[in-house]
Structure 1
Amino acid sequence: MNLALWIAAGLLAAVALTGGVSKTFVAKEKLATIPGGQWTGDFGAGFVKTLGILELLAAIGLILPALAGVAPVLVPVTAACWVLLMIGAMITHLRHDGAAKFVALNLTYLALAAFLAWGRFGPASFA
């Protein structure tokens, strides 16, 4: 169970890092041309960059507290916040035509985050 939770955390951290870097450092106009990035046209550049920063923080919060042994409860808290972020992402992607595959991808990430939150709050907690 512990190994599966670490794998889930690693995968989610990689996703969060990738999304965070692109939203934080790539221009909103360029993101809008990438498949799945059309939603950025509905929001301001500041909002998109803020989401990117939150995703970078999520990448850190999914791994670092457990590795450092400092406030490891932040791992399941971050995973629970990721669930909420993915709900928002699914709603946003549903508003755009042809985005069903991105909704399915977000649902996969949501399931991984829910598994991680459940596992680290419950049977395989760090406490």
Structure 2
Amino acid sequence: MSPDKKPQNMKPLTAAAKLGIYLPATPEEFRNSPVTRAQLEELRTNPPQWLLDLRADGPFPRDVVARKLGISNSGLGRAGVEDALTNAEIDALLAAPPEWLVKERENFAEVRKEAERVKAKDAERRAATNRPAKNW
């Protein structure tokens, strides 16, 4: 028989990233102690009120803010947005988008369009040569 396995722990920052929440906005007991995989799964399946509130109102981490605004993380950096934003702040930006947000959304749309074009071109090339796609 194998000895009892020690539960795998992760740093609170890693757990917060997996939950899609902003670590500094979490309760102190979450920020200051490691989280086991079992605890993480429990938070996912049976979230406490603080987690529900964070997911609903924020503040949100950078990647979530970028996704809600329809821009890239780099676009947030170029705009000088360094702080996490709440739902109300995001809604205000979307209701009256500043010039930087309009530009970044256009840029993001162009980048996505170009990525789709390249993907389609590669698919055509593979189909013409009858080779399977590379799995990187």
TM-score, normalised to structure 1, is 0.29
Structure with greater helix percent: 1
